[in-house]
Structure 1
Amino acid sequence: MALEVGDHVGCAKEKKNVNQSYSKEEEIVLMCLEGPTRAPLVSLDDNLVSYVGLTTLNIALLGGKSAFYSCNMDAQVKEEVIKISKYKEESLPFTYLGVKIDSKKLSKDDCSFLIDKIAARIKSWGVIEGVISACRNFLWGGKVASHKTPLVAWDLICRKKREGGLGLKESHAWNLALLGKYVWSIASKADNLWVKWINHIYLKDKDWKSYSPTSAASWYWKQLCQVKDRFRSGYNGNKWVFQHKGYTTSSGYKWLRGEGQEVDWAGWVWNNLNIPKHSFLCWLVMWRRVQTKDRLKKMQIQTDELCPLKMLEDQIGINVSIADLTQLSTWLQKPCNGRFRRRVIQCTYAALIYNIWKQRNAAVWRKCIASHQSTVERVTKEIYWRIVSVMPKKKVASGLENDAIKVTKTKGG
């Protein structure tokens, strides 16, 4: 936008730019006048009206909530501007968005408030923590915002499935692994403009492994140097030792997380013939995290420890008393007549555990108990159609449905 300033004495008529900085709460209009100190400002009123029309400002608010600041300005011209604009006059310096506005050059200390404010806001955002919180809440409550208490620690959830976790990525370690790519680029002296710039500005041919940033270095560079120190033991000189082909994000993540102890029940819990919700419940069962009454009593949430499944045993004909889950897990992984048959047996037991849990909840909350026959039929259909969907070629194979029925009947007595 331009303001028509008028005819200056001894100067040609010209337009001067108005530099504008916007925020939701306030705006700055900077008017720069050149030439003699005395100049008619007849057109200033019209230009202010035009400016209001082009912005979201209300002309009625201009005089009441706006201020006028001047520097080396002729007194008569200043009075004319105040009269036309109806602004109140104030003196420099003042603050805008936390930064001091003055006629003098701003020093580093003058901008420190803004730097601290931005840094505090970034920390308060907690991007990674926000992502973890959203994922955790969705896992246990089905919503991004949930107040349900997690049944399993997040660090364990982010372990591999064979180590007892769910195989999710741990965001902090994954973020560090991604930043590790920059560390590797510098260490391997990658032929790109960024590495050349880093060497010219910061490293200056110094040894990268032993390098320490100066106090005057940028915040981002200091953070990258901290990531470098985190990966220090993974390097032999400037070579990544965890993978002979060089650093990758995947190898960096595995190095950061390390290798955990494997569990012996992961094979049948995560059998691909299992229905996913069956696998998830069996995973909770193997970690003893299902909210049974005996656990609730230990947490002093209730006093009754009698599990309603005990009352169901006689009526649905299924013996749900599993004294040793480790023994069950070992039995399910024993070899039998064919690998496929063993997987069918495993998914049948997973379906039984899930349906027994459903019966328990039905007994507690709805006071109803399904019959033995309906439970067997439901488990049989679930297994059959799961196998058909995962392995369509097995649909014509004889004995699938009969195998499931035999397993459920054996379990049911």
Structure 2
Amino acid sequence: MVLLLRAFSAFSNASGLKMNSHKSCAYFNGVNHRLKGEILSISGFVEGKLPFKYLGVPITAGRLKVTDCAVLIDKIVDRIRSLVAKKLSYAGRLVLVQSVLTTMHTYWASMFILPKGVINRVDSICRNYLWEGGTKFQRVPMISWQRVCSPKKEGGLGLKDSGLWNIANIGKLVWWMATKPDKLWVQWVYHIYMKGMPWHTYTPSADTSWHWRKVCHVRDIIQAGFVDEYWIIGNGAYTVSGCYNWLREKRIQVDWYNSIWNTVAAPKHSFMAWLITNQALRLKDRLYCYNVSTDDLCCICALSPETHEHLFQECLYAQQVLKFVLCRLGIQLRGSDILKQIARRRWSSGRKHVTTTAILAVWYMIWMQRNNARLTHQVISPWVLAGQILNSVKSRIQVCKSKSFSIRDGQWLSKVHMM
């Protein structure tokens, strides 16, 4: 303790910064009362009680408990309960989950192996908010969370699996131990815990810290990803995203990724197209099977069972809207798998983006009209709806002029009266 106080004094003399003993505490674990009294007398500190918070996270002497992480759960729930968060669409909720909620979790996940109860709670909050706009479970999600956590190229939404993301973040500590950088905590661990033993064969004893044993457990999980001291993915340097992709379950890449998630389409249209492509909407054919609906007929035409194929491809109303929109664009497409037909055309990327954006807007507006027909038994004229779709696409193009738009694309858009 004397050496530590001397170090503080030397730092104070060199920097001009002084330690405030009234705001400083000493924390003890496994120290007898006599030694504790001597340390407090020499330092002038008061004894602090565990656990305590440092930089917003709990510091404990033992195992991290679910109750210690309650502040993390409360912060996520408070962000969701804001008035703005409740009014967001599916696409808006997705952005909030990606940019805010999972970021809160990442800060904690980079320091601790979180308890499974906390991981499950974080996942359930994000899942319930994405599908219901709240924190409570009300209905079965349209698509499994495992699928949602897949990359967009593999048919998911690109969210992170909290458990695997936690392991990948702690894996950075493992990499630091393997490469032995000039870090104070690494040198301390080597002298106190390992005592010269090789890192890849070291086994922690039962009396070591719970947090340290968890770090060693993560080492055992990702050890196959190392060759000597180099990570097998990339240029040999460890990255959290690289380890996460190595840990997660791989899926086959979908062929509609570039069409649905193009840079010009409105996010809410892309999200709806993603649901349609996965046939996840709660249409009447599904509701009728569960005795939720009295019949399974299409809400718009009432001639055939309301399936995804019928509502967005076979329904006369949908065909008329799509035909008018494509006619204005000077394009002829027939049959199903329209997005595949567009991808196969030898068009510029700008023209493909515009055409795909129009298709996604058609699907979204047809879904809106379907819901309106179910509630009010009324739909607007297909020609009027097609005009609204073209206006929305035009506005979207003007706002999001992509670099992929060439001079020829601009000339084409002028001819079809889109610019």
TM-score higher than 0.5: yes
Instruction: Extract structure 1 runs of 4+ deviating beyond 6 A.
Output: 114-118, 319-324, 392-396
C-alpha distance in structure 1 between counterparts of 2:411 and 2:378, whole Å: 35
Kept after mapping to 2: 8 A contact 1:282/1:353: yes
Are 2:191 and 1:190 equivalent residues in the alignment? no
8 A contact 1:297–1:304 mirrored in 2: yes
Contact residue 355 and residue 379 of structure 1 kept, 8 A: yes
CA contact (8 A) 1:278 1:351 kept: yes
Gaps of 5+ in 2: 1-48, 50-59, 74-116, 303-310, 324-332
Name the CA distance, whole Å, in 2 between partners of 1:399 and 1:280.
Answer: 28
Q: Give the aligned partner of residue 121 of structure 1.
A: 67
Deviation at 1:169, TM superposition (A): 2.1
Aligned: 1:357 with 2:367: yes
Contact 1:186–1:208 at 8 Å: present in 2 too?
A: yes
Q: How does 1:36-51 map to 2 (within 5 A)?
A: none
| Alignment match of 1:203 (pick from 189, 194, 208) | 194
- Amino acid across the alignment from 1:400: L
Q: Deviations over 1:33-91 (max 9, x none)?
A: xxxxxxxxxxxxxxxxxxxxxxxxxxxxxxxxxxxxxxxxxxxxxxxxxxxxxxxxxxx
> Number of residue pairs matched?
294
When structure 1 is superposed on structure 2, of 369-378 and 203-212 the one drifting more is 203-212
Shift of the 244–284 alpha-carbon distance from structure 1 to 2, 3 Å rule, reads same
| Matched position secondary structure for 2:171 | helix
1:263 and 2:254 are equivalent in the alignment = yes
Residue 320 of structure 2 aligns with which residue?
Answer: 318
- Equivalent in 213, 226, 235 of residue 217 of structure 2: 226
Distance 2:222 2:216 in 1: 10
TM-fit CA distance, 1:202: 1.2
TM-score by length of 2: 0.62
Q: Which moved more, 1:228-237 or 1:128-137?
A: 128-137
Change (3 A) 1:338 1:138: same
- Deviation, 1:234, is 0.7
Q: Quick check: 2:317–2:382 contact (8 Å CA) kept in 1?
A: yes
User: Is 1:237 the equivalent of 2:228?
Assistant: yes
- Structure 1 or 2, whichever has the larger Rg, is 1
The equivalent residue for 2:385 is: 375
Residue 399 of structure 1: how far off its partner (Å) = 4.6
TM value normalised by structure 1: 0.63
**For the Cα contact (< 8 Å) 1:316–1:370, is it kept in 2?**
no
Aligned AA for 2:363? Answer: I
| Contact 2:62–2:210 (Cα < 8 Å) also in 1 | no
**Rounded Cα–Cα distance in structure 2 between residues aligned with 1:392 and 1:177:** 35
Given the superposition, is the C-alpha separation of residues 315 and 207 from structure 1 closer, same or farther in structure 2, using an over 3 Å criterion? closer
Q: Which residue of 2 aligns with 1:28?
A: none
How far the C-alpha of 1:196 sits from its partner, in A, is 0.9
**Mapped pair 1:157 → 2:148:** yes
Q: Which amino acid aligns with 1:318?
A: Q
SS in 2 for 1:331: helix
Give, in angstroms, the shift of residue 336 of structure 1. 3.6
Corresponding letter in the other structure for 2:358: T
For 2:205 and 2:335, the matched residues in 1 are separated by 60
- Decide whether aligned partners of structure 1 residues 372 and 273 sit closer, same or farther in structure 2, where only a CA change above 3 A counts: same
Partner of 2:296: helix, strand, or coil?
A: coil
Deviation of 1:324 after TM superposition, in Å, equals 8.1
User: Where does residue 215 of structure 1 map in the other structure?
Assistant: 206
Cα deviation, residue 138, structure 1: 2.0
Summarize the Cα distance change of 1:148–1:323 in structure 2 as closer, same or farther, 3 Å threshold: farther
Letter in 1 for 2:212: W
Unaligned runs of 5+ in 1: 1-96, 98-113, 406-413
The structure-2 alpha-carbon separation of the partners of 1:262 and 1:315, relative to structure 1 and needing over 3 Å to count, comes to: closer
Once the two structures are overlaid, the 10-residue window that deviates more, 198-207 or 121-130, is 121-130
Change (3 A) 1:298 1:316: closer
User: Larger relative CO (CA 8 A, sep 6+): 1 or 2?
Assistant: 2
CA shift, 1:378, in A, is 0.6
1:389 aligned partner: 399
The aligned counterpart of 1:38 is none
State percent identity of aligned pairs: 33
CA distance in 2: counterparts of 1:373 and 1:248, whole angstroms: 52
Q: 1 CA distance for matches of 2:240 and 2:402?
A: 37
More helix by share: 2
Question: 1:324 and 1:255 mapped to 2: Cα distance?
Answer: 39
Q: Indicate conservation of the 8 Å contact 2:321/2:386, yes or no.
A: no
Instruction: Give 1:146 shift.
Output: 5.0
Letter in 1 for 2:286: R
Alignment match, 1:12: none
> Aligned in 2, Cα 1:251/1:392: closer, same or farther, shift over 3 Å?
closer
Letter in 1 for 2:119: I
What is the alpha-carbon distance in structure 2 between the residues aligned to residue 246 and residue 118 of structure 1? Answer: 30
User: Would you say the 8 A contact 1:316–1:371 is kept in 2?
Assistant: no
